[in-house]
Structure 1
Amino acid sequence: MHILAIGDIVGDSGTELFLEKIDELKQRYQVDFCIVNGENACTGNGINRHKAELLLDGGADVLTLGNHTFRQKEATALLAHNDKILRPLNFPPETVGKGAAVYQVGDVRIGVINLLGRVHMDPVDCPYRAVDAALKTMKADLIFVDFHAETTSEKVSMGWHLDGRVTAVFGTHTHVQTADEWVLPGGTGYITDLGMTGPIYSCLGVKKEITLERFITAMPRRFEFADGKAKLCGALFCVDEKTGKTQSVERVCEV
């Protein structure tokens, strides 16, 4: 099977490019299932009902989130009623929504787990213990983990922690695609960060003039997403649904 994971959708330009490219990508790579991080789909971060419906109707099979999960006021209702939108599993147990789910694709059960890192993030429960607990009860042929985290070391460590126990681990959040895709010794596909799907002429999706001013003057400025030409970043995992292992990982980058 071929599983496509798409990095953080950033604003309108990222949403539009995803909708423009996804059908052609699915055909080219014979994609069976598509995981999309919708963490920054809305202006001002987070996701609302309109953007969620656009992405899900447009080709995403499941949306994962991250530290901006509840930035939009509609998020609580979305997570309460839509099993195709996941928030980080290691939020407190009382948090609305699910952090893991299993989706049926033909005869194959595909599990997806969303985790949030703790380094340079607001306090959350331990992602390592949270995923360990989830794996004890999850019944799936394939398991994919979106680890939304800031540092490479935290994500690399998660890859090793889950090697041989899940089909693939991919990082999101930094908006910069890494070139370290590989299959770990235990058969788990891995990449530190998928990158973003958003405006090219920007600083991680934000207007470059704003980030430059903040760095040069040390004065606060409200972030605004850039417009214009965008790129789509992600990774394609070729997997064996009988063994649950990844056979190959390929970076995807489209403009």
Structure 2
Amino acid sequence: MKVLMLGDIYAKPGRQIVHQELKNIVLNNDIDFVVVNGENATHGKSISKNSFDEIKSWGVDVITSGNHIFKNKEVLDYIDDNPTLLRPMNMYSYLPGKGYVIVKKNNKKFCIVNLIGTSFMDKADSPYEAMDEFLKQDLDYDYLLIDFHAEATAEKLAFAWNYDGKINALVGTHTHVQTADERILPKGSAYISDLGMCGATNTIIGADPKAVIYKEKTGLPSRFEPGDSKEKQVCGVIIELDDKTNKTKNIERVFVKTTLIEGEN
């Protein structure tokens, strides 16, 4: 089995380039299951119902998220009815939605868990407590993969080491910068600190550079708008899983840099 996990899709440029490239990545790499992070899919913050439906129509199995998931109030109305859209499991329990989902595909059960970090992030419950409670449920699945949406690489790596051997993979999201530290940990779990971003390349993590520079130089509030450029990118990893033992075999980075074909929406 091969799972493709893509980093934060940023606004329309991100949706456009993933739509264009996803089919080729899936076909060329014999991908069985697709997970993307969609928390920035709509205008750079959160995900509208239209964007959710659009991304799912491409054959994406699960959409994870992070700290921006509820910035669009529309999510409050539809997330409970769409279990393949996740919000971090250790967010406040009063929020709608779930932090994990089990999807059966190709005679295997894929469990995807979404968590959020606590270092330099908005307040959330302990991801360790949330994960320990999750594991106590003894749920029925073949593969367990985690999207850990966090700022600090050390926090992501410490969490992965703590659950090494109990999970198939932990991939980081949130920084929008793909890291070069993909590896198999000593007890067999795959890891990367950040999948990277899917969107316009010549931007600042997806946003128009002018607004970001203004904020950095002046310290004043600045409304970030999605940036765009001729060159675009798709970032993520392919995780290979053993069909017989359900163990993790390999993790490989995906980085596609290309231009949008004329006529793509």
Same fold (TM over 0.5): yes
Instruction: Check if 1:232 corresponds to 2:199.
Output: no
- Name which of 241, 244, 248 aligns with 1:242: 244
Q: Structure 2 CA distance, aligned partners of 1:152 and 1:170? A: 11
Question: Secondary structure of 1:252's partner?
Answer: strand
Q: Which residue of 2 aligns with 1:254?
A: 256
**1:252 partner letter:** V
Q: Which residue of 2 aligns with 1:201?
A: 202
Structure 1, unmatched stretches of 5+, are none
Q: Which residue of 2 aligns with 1:78?
A: 78
**2:33 partner letter:** F
Q: Structure 2 CA distance, aligned partners of 1:8 and 1:243? A: 30
Question: Secondary structure of 1:70's partner?
Answer: helix
Deviations along 1:210-232, one digit per CA (max 9) or x if unpaired, are: 11122222222111110123200
**1:201 partner letter:** N
Q: Which residue of 1 aligns with 2:221?
A: 220
Q: Which residue of 2 aligns with 1:182?
A: 183
Which range is displaced more, 132-141 or 195-204? 132-141
Question: Secondary structure of 2:50's partner?
Answer: helix
Deviations along 1:13-59, one digit per CA (max 9) or x if unpaired, are: 00000100111100011000000000100115000101001111112
Structure 2, unmatched stretches of 5+, are 258-265
Q: Structure 2 CA distance, aligned partners of 1:246 and 1:44? A: 33
Superposed CA RMSD in Å reads: 1.0
Q: Structure 2 CA distance, aligned partners of 1:103 and 1:136? A: 19
Which range is displaced more, 77-86 or 25-34? 77-86
Q: Which residue of 1 aligns with 2:260?
A: none
* 1:35-50 equivalent positions in 2, closer than 5 A: 35-50=35-50
Q: Structure 1 CA distance, aligned partners of 2:187 and 2:78? A: 36
Q: Structure 1 CA distance, aligned partners of 2:161 and 2:245? A: 19
Q: Which residue of 2 aligns with 1:167?
A: 168
Q: Which residue of 2 aligns with 1:130?
A: 130
* 1:4-43 equivalent positions in 2, closer than 5 A: 4-43=4-43
Q: Structure 2 CA distance, aligned partners of 1:115 and 1:164? A: 18
**2:2 partner letter:** H
Q: Structure 2 CA distance, aligned partners of 1:249 and 1:78? A: 33
Question: How much does 1:181 deviate?
Answer: 0.2
Q: Structure 1 CA distance, aligned partners of 2:211 and 2:76? A: 30
* 1:111-122 equivalent positions in 2, closer than 5 A: 111-122=111-122
* 1:86-165 equivalent positions in 2, closer than 5 A: 86-137=86-137, 138-165=139-166
Question: How much does 1:134 deviate?
Answer: 1.0
Contact 1:78/1:85, CA 8 A, preserved across alignment: no
How many residues are matched?
255
Question: Secondary structure of 1:78's partner?
Answer: helix
Question: How much does 1:182 deviate?
Answer: 0.5
Identity rate, percent = 38
Question: How much does 1:131 deviate?
Answer: 1.1
TM-score by length of 1: 0.97
Contact 1:233/1:254, CA 8 A, preserved across alignment: yes
Contact 1:166/1:244, CA 8 A, preserved across alignment: no
Contact 1:166/1:245, CA 8 A, preserved across alignment: no
